[in-house]
């Protein structure tokens, strides 16, 4: 769990360096489809850059930020 939080922080900083904001789902119910999912947001326009209605996993966020 600690490694996951550190990874999330690292990706959050990486997103900031690219001018984006990493936003995590606020859902607290593990049964919801977007529980624990993420979106990349362009903060000045408040526009969704990556992630659909269901969001992205940390692996997908990492790939997107790396340009894969």
Cβ distance 14 to 3 under 8 Å? no
Please tell me the pTM assigned to this model.
0.81
d(CA 60, CA 68): 9
pLDDT, greater one: 32 or 19? 19
Domain extent listing, the chain? 2-66
Summarize pLDDT for 34-66 with one digit per residue, the tens.
788 999 999 999 888 888 888 888 999 999 999
């Amino acid at each position: 769990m600690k490694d996951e939080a550190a990874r999330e922080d690292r990706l959050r900083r990486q997103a900031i360096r690219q001018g984006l904001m990493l936003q995590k789902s606020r859902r607290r119910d593990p049964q919801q489809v977007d529980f624990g999912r993420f979106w990349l947001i362009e903060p000045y326009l408040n526009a969704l850059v990556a992630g659909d209605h269901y969001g992205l996993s940390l692996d997908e966020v990492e790939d997107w930020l790396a340009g894969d």
